[in-house]
Structure 1
Amino acid sequence: MKGILLVNMGGPQSLSQMHLFLKNMFSDKYILPLPFGLRQFVARMIAKKRHPASWEKYQLIGGTPIIKHTEATKEALAKSAEMPVYTAYSYTPPFISDVMQAMHNDGITEIDVLTMYPQASDTTTTSVFSDVKKASKKLNGISIREICDYSVHPTFLDYWKTLIEEHIAKQGVENPLLLFTAHAIPIYGVKRGDKYPDTVRHMAKRLADIMNRPYEVAFQSRVGPVKWVGPDTDEHLEELVSAGEKNVVLIPVSFTTECLETVYDLNIKLVDIYKKDDRMEHISRVEIPVAHPLFIETLKNIVNE
């Protein structure tokens, strides 16, 4: 029997789980490429130091939306694809290994691994597939198919085009600049061969060309002292506004659910602030709907293909 394993990063639902989330995330060698012992030490220090302040941000946005939105996606995809769909998370329960064991117990022999990350990256998809491979070694008779990078799948581009055009029409703004924003990765990842930034730029260009609209690309949510891929969304937006740009629509193209990086980093830190800026006539952000039919169709199509 065939089933789909739908994976996302997870999200903290309490202060203690905030600590667990940070510890697990920075223990991931694809996030923090340090020797094992040093990585574990640094992960514990980061979790201990940052989890109270990080949890305060989650409280400002009413808790993590990721779990609820991913579970809704699972239900819609199971109905549309007419096959069992299981959800697992990288950094909070239920974890990938536990869910794969449950799938095995339920008689699933073929697993299509599908992530909520549209662009492939070592920090996301490679990390997930590594965990899947590790878990599969303990399960006899299981075959795995990894489904990676659907960022320019025609249905996915149609999904984003629909969201953007509906948003612009609803806002009543004339020919805004589209500022595509994606989660940044450290430069050291790019130097190791991670093509994620190029994939994001390629997707943005495809979308802008389809809609025949002006656009820019930036990368957000960088943390720590290391150098990150840029331009930084916060800094680039200020440069655009200072240069006379009056109308901007932010589009979080690397995200498939609302999360801290969309609601806090974009809405609270940018949109809410620039709405009060006399230099601008309009700024808004395209919101990510829960289990939109075109997104579900995208996932169904790439599984069937």
Structure 2
Amino acid sequence: MTAAPNAAAHPSVQFGKIGVLLVNLGTPDGTDFASMRRYLKEFLSDRRVIEWSRLFWYPILYGIVLNTRPRKVGKAYELIWNKERNESWLRTYTRNQAQLMAEGFADQSQVIVDWAMRYGQPSIASRMEALQKEGCERILVFPLYPQYAAATTATVNDKAFEALLKMRWQPALRTVPPYHDDPVYIDALAASIERHLATLDWEPEVVLASFHGIPKSYFDLGDPYYCQCQRTARLLREKLGWPKEKLMVTFQSRFGPEEWLQPYTDATVEKLAKDGVKRIAVINPGFVSDCLETLEEIAGQAAESFLHSGGEKFAHIPCLNDSPEGMAVLNHVVRRELKGWL
């Protein structure tokens, strides 16, 4: 008769904990060519991000993009790099969000909050493994995107479930759904707009809600992202009591030759100025944290384009970041999704 395994042989096994993993898009480790190339290779090799045939895409990626784009993107990152911590602001804010959330769970010792990046470090797999070793039998994975897109939310979930494939003792896993129309999120956006506009000595004629774009073909295949962006903007208008002309939806950050969701932010900014609009503000409701696309592309490039085309006043309204309103949204969503576990 075979003896039962001795539990004392595994004295370090932890259990009974609940993990919360905040996951954002990703960040390069530095602005140098090698760091940027490594980051862009991982990002642009993702089949959720670039859905073209690998036979068509890889010669372009390895023959052109990874030889030219790292230098250009590295220079852009250098403009908005958090020099004090020698890291991107996305990393700074995501870490801060996890730390602040952990403080909010200080009275519930069974909850462990951590953070990861879909591309770059720390990876999703490494942090899920760390949470499991700390005794997390249940993990809530939170893709930090209010609106769902396959190229953002789905690829985070893919990586989380992929990590489970390598685990003998798998934790139970939940993923956070989009919260594009959650009243707490809408209220926080409205409050951030009103607070920022109150600091200006002028009033914008138009406010653009600029969301990250996706190829139109992804929308045609059934991606709900466009509809969720429009719903966020409509609810935000209603909360602020503004007409449609005052808060316009645009899409930014397109890449490659395909048609992307329109209207494009850069073209709209230029057209507004040429049509005689003198004062605008831009908010990025789809970004939980300020990053390259908000700080360099909007606060930098879009502002310059608007002023160069005849505009007079431009304001970028910061993302919710780790502000009290921003943390209220993240904490609200997490506590809602932990029901039944806590």
SS for the counterpart of 1:218 is strand
Are the counterparts in 2 of residues 81 and 300 from structure 1 also a CA contact under 8 Å? no
1:282 maps onto 2:298 in alignment: no
For residues 79-132 of structure 1, give each alpha carbon's deviation from its aligned partner in whole angstroms, at most 9, with x where no partner exists.
113431111111101111111111111111111111221111001000100111
AA paired with 1:84? I
Which residue does 1:95 correspond to in 2? Answer: 123
| Cα shift at 1:38 | 5.5
CA RMSD of aligned residues (A): 1.8
For residues 132-152 of structure 1, give each alpha carbon's deviation from its aligned partner in whole angstroms, at most 9, with x where no partner exists.
111112222410111021122
Call closer, same or farther: CA 1:133–1:37 in 2, change over 3 Å.
Answer: farther
| Cα shift at 1:284 | 0.8
CA distance in 2, matches of 1:136, 1:4: 15
1:113 maps onto 2:141 in alignment: yes
1:291 maps onto 2:322 in alignment: yes
AA paired with 2:301? K
AA paired with 2:156? V
1:3 maps onto 2:34 in alignment: no
CA distance in 2, matches of 1:289, 1:125: 19
AA paired with 2:232? M
Which residue does 2:273 correspond to in 1? Answer: 241
For residues 205-241 of structure 1, give each alpha carbon's deviation from its aligned partner in whole angstroms, at most 9, with x where no partner exists.
1101110122111000112111111111010122222
SS for the counterpart of 2:20 is strand
Residues 132-143 of structure 1 aligned to structure 2 (within 5 Å): 132-139=160-167, 140-143=169-172
Q: 2:52 aligns with which of 34, 38, 45?
A: 34
AA paired with 2:50? L
Call closer, same or farther: CA 1:302–1:262 in 2, change over 3 Å.
Answer: same
TM-score (norm 1): 0.94
Which residue does 2:251 correspond to in 1? Answer: 219
Residues 187-266 of structure 1 aligned to structure 2 (within 5 Å): 187-213=216-242, 214-266=246-298
1:51 maps onto 2:70 in alignment: yes
Call closer, same or farther: CA 1:175–1:48 in 2, change over 3 Å.
Answer: closer
SS for the counterpart of 1:148 is coil
AA paired with 1:285? H
Alignment coverage as a number of residue pairs? 304
Are the counterparts in 1 of residues 145 and 178 from structure 2 also a CA contact under 8 Å? yes
| Cα shift at 1:174 | 3.0
Which residue does 2:80 correspond to in 1? Answer: 61
Which residue does 1:24 correspond to in 2? Answer: 42
1:74 maps onto 2:98 in alignment: yes
Are the counterparts in 1 of residues 187 and 239 from structure 2 also a CA contact under 8 Å? no
SS for the counterpart of 1:44 is helix
Q: 1:163 aligns with which of 192, 201, 204?
A: 192
What stretches of structure 1 of length at least 5 have no aligned partner? Answer: none
AA paired with 1:52? R
Structure 1 range deviating more: 198-207 or 239-248: 239-248
List 4+ stretches of structure 1 deviating above 3 A.
34-45
AA paired with 1:205? R
1:123 maps onto 2:151 in alignment: yes
Give the % identical residues: 26
Structure 1 range deviating more: 291-300 or 280-289: 280-289
AA paired with 1:76? L
Structure 1 range deviating more: 289-298 or 204-213: 289-298
AA paired with 2:183? P
Call closer, same or farther: CA 1:273–1:49 in 2, change over 3 Å.
Answer: closer
Structure 1 range deviating more: 43-52 or 101-110: 43-52
CA distance in 2, matches of 1:9, 1:28: 12
Which residue does 2:300 correspond to in 1? Answer: 268
Q: Name which one, 1 or 2, has greater alpha-carbon Rg.
A: 2
Structure 1 range deviating more: 168-177 or 254-263: 168-177
CA distance in 1, matches of 2:89, 2:59: 29
Call closer, same or farther: CA 1:273–1:38 in 2, change over 3 Å.
Answer: closer
